[in-house]
Amino acid sequence: MKISCAALGWGDIRDVVKFVEILDSIKDAGYEGVGIEYAVMPEALKKNPGQVKKLAKKAGLEVVSMALNETTTDMADVAKKMGAESGWLCLFEKDDRSAAKVTKALTVAFGKKGMKIAVHPHVRSNAENLRQLDALLKASGAGICFDSAHLEALRMDLPKFIEKYKSRIALVHLKDLREHVDPAKIDYDKDFVDLGEGVVDMPAVARALKTARYKGWIMVEVDFPHKGSMAESAAKNYKYLQKLLKD
């Protein structure tokens, strides 16, 4: 398993200089790859996505995946130019039928360019239970982005989820959940925390991924750090994850 870090936690990236600083922080912490949140990228890089790949390579990182904040099929071209292997998809469509249509269209568009779509089970989304998720997978042929905190918030059995969907997991997001609350009341600013600081049984998740022989990317994706800077959070989570995967 390869370890990467999402740039999301740094918030809106005002310019290319700031993006380079973020890449350097991720590399300095020990990560091999970076996850891109399209919505927070500076306009200069949205207009020239190929530059993202170049800057990441210069920093010694791979672009792992891109969050599909926009769900038009031209995002496949953007992700490909960035060098991403996949796009992770959180669905907030008006109904499940619309969500299935979007997922299928994106899966086809990304597939034509040699990339995968990974549906992200998410609180308050079109994929917050197994019935919805199974319907989306059947309709589209997409993969799954396993997110430890969101699935824990939805009261899923994480090891069983990994075992059931091991052949479909295309990307793993790891973050912790501060405590169990009503999913409708989850606050992304407050309820998602650094690894080992919440209620997710991270050792059990690691064991399940090993048992499933998952060989893809793990992405640390803490939305907003609660202690210290984002660079400090990224470094702390990398050390935690390294130890976790060795045990």
Please tell me the predicted confidence (pLDDT) of residue 98. 98
Please tell me the predicted confidence (pLDDT) of residue 186. 95
DSSP assignments along 184-233, one per residue: GG--HHHHEE-TTSSS--HHHHHHHHHHTT--SEEEE--SS-SSS-HHHH
Q: Over the stretch 199-240, which tens digit does the pLDDT of each residue have?
A: 999 999 999 999 999 999 999 999 887 778 999 999 999 999
Q: What contacts 47, CB < 8 A, 6 or more positions away?
A: none
Fill in the DSSP letter of residue 83. Answer: T
Please tell me the predicted confidence (pLDDT) of residue 210. 97
Q: How far apart are CA 247 and CA 235, in angstroms?
A: 19
Please tell me the predicted confidence (pLDDT) of residue 247. 79
The rounded percent of the chain whose pLDDT value lies above 70 is 100
Does position 151 have pLDDT exceeding 90, yes or no? yes
Q: Over the stretch 24-35, which tens digit does the pLDDT of each residue have?
A: 999 999 999 999
Q: How far apart are CA 78 and CA 48, in angstroms?
A: 9
CA 220 vs CA 45, 173, 224: distances in Å: 23, 6, 12
Please tell me the predicted confidence (pLDDT) of residue 226. 72
Across residues 168-185, what is the average pLDDT? Answer: 97
Q: How far apart are CA 28 and CA 133, in angstroms?
A: 37
Q: Over the stretch 49-93, which tens digit does the pLDDT of each residue have?
A: 999 999 999 999 999 999 998 999 999 999 999 999 999 999 999
SS3 114: coil
Q: Over the stretch 7-26, which tens digit does the pLDDT of each residue have?
A: 999 999 999 999 999 999 99
Other beta carbons within 10 Å of 223: 18
Please tell me the predicted confidence (pLDDT) of residue 227. 76
Of the candidates 229, 237, 157, the residue with the CA atom closest to the CA atom of residue 196: 237
First vs last C-alpha separation in the chain? 14
Q: Could you tell me the pLDDT band of residue 189, with boundaries at 50, 70 and 90?
A: confident
Does position 130 have pLDDT exceeding 80, yes or no? yes
Q: Over the stretch 55-65, which tens digit does the pLDDT of each residue have?
A: 999 999 999 99
Round the average pLDDT of the chain to a whole number and report it: 96
Phi, psi angles (nearest 5°) of residue 138: -65, -40
Q: How far apart are CA 167 and CA 163, in angstroms?
A: 9
Strands (E), the chain: 2-6, 33-37, 62-67, 86-89, 116-119, 143-147, 169-174, 176-177, 192-193, 217-220
